[in-house]
A and B are shown apart, each in its own frame.
Chain A
C-alpha cells in the first residue's frame, strides 16, 4: 500500500477507479448495518470497520498522500474519533443524571418504540453511532500513522 512508487508498479487502474467510488457506498452499507443492527448481524463497530476498509482501499490504490487529497475529510479523523467517544460515553453515563444505572437505555425495556421505517429510535442508537464514529476515526488514524511514514524516519 505504501510502496506506490517504491517498485515502480502503479496499481491497476480498475483498483483506482473502484477505490475512488467505494467510500460513498460503504457509508451506505454502514448505515444499513447500524439500522438493522438490533434485528440482524452487525453493529456500530462492524459499520465503522467497513467504512475504514473502504478508505484503506483508497490508501492502497493511490497512496497516503493521494488518499488524503482525494478525501480531505479524513483530516478530521481525530476529531471524529473523540466526538464518537464522547457521544458513546455520554449516552452511556447520561442515565446517572436521573439516578439510573449507567447504560440503561430509553425507552425502557418493554415500552413501545418509535419506528422510522425499519429504524428503531432509542438511545442505544446514539451509543452505536458514537462507536461507529470512533471506530472510523481510530482506524483512519491508524492508516494515516502507518501509511505515511516514509521520509519522516530520517528527521
Chain B
C-alpha cells in the first residue's frame, strides 16, 4: 500500500511539474492544483496507522491518526483560495495582454518594460537627486566673493 500511495503522489507531482513548464497559463494552474493534491495525499497517507474514523474513540479502538487529517483540511481550504486567486490572475493577464501564452507574454512584457524605462529613470533621479537639483558643495559657495578673489 505504501508504494501505491507513493506512486500515486509521484504521478500527481510529476504531471504537475510537467504542466508547470507549459506555455499555457491555464495548464500551469492545473499543474499547481495537481501538486497541491499530491501534497494533501502525502499528508493523509503519512497516517498509515489507518483505523476507524476518529470520532468518539473508545479505549480499545484503533483510530486513524487525526493530526494529518487536520493538516490536510487546512491545506485543502488554502488550496481553494490559492486556485481562485491564480485564476483571477490569469484572467487579468489575459484581459491586459490579450494572450495566455507565456512566450507572447514575455515579449509584451519586454515591450512594456522598454516603455517604462523613462519613468524608472525619473524614479532613480528622485532618490539620487536630479542633475539639475543636485548642488555640488563647491558651487554653493558665494559666487560674488569668488569673482572678487579671482
Q: Which residues of A contact B (CB under 8 A)?
A: 39-41, 45, 138, 142, 145-146, 149, 153
Contacts and interface: CB of A to CB of B under 8 A. Distances in A.
Contact of A146 (B56, B73, B87, B95): B87
Contacts of B95: 153
Contacts, number: 15
Contacts of A153: 95
Given A45-B77, A153-B95, A142 B84 contact: yes
A146 B88 CA distance: 8
15 contacts: A39-B55, A39-B56, A40-B55, A41-B53, A41-B55, A45-B73, A45-B77, A138-B81, A142-B84, A145-B88, A146-B84, A146-B87, A146-B88, A149-B91, A153-B95
Contacts of B87: 146
B109 to A, nearest CB: 21
B57 to A, nearest CB: 12
B73 to A, nearest CB: 8
A40 B87 CA distance: 34
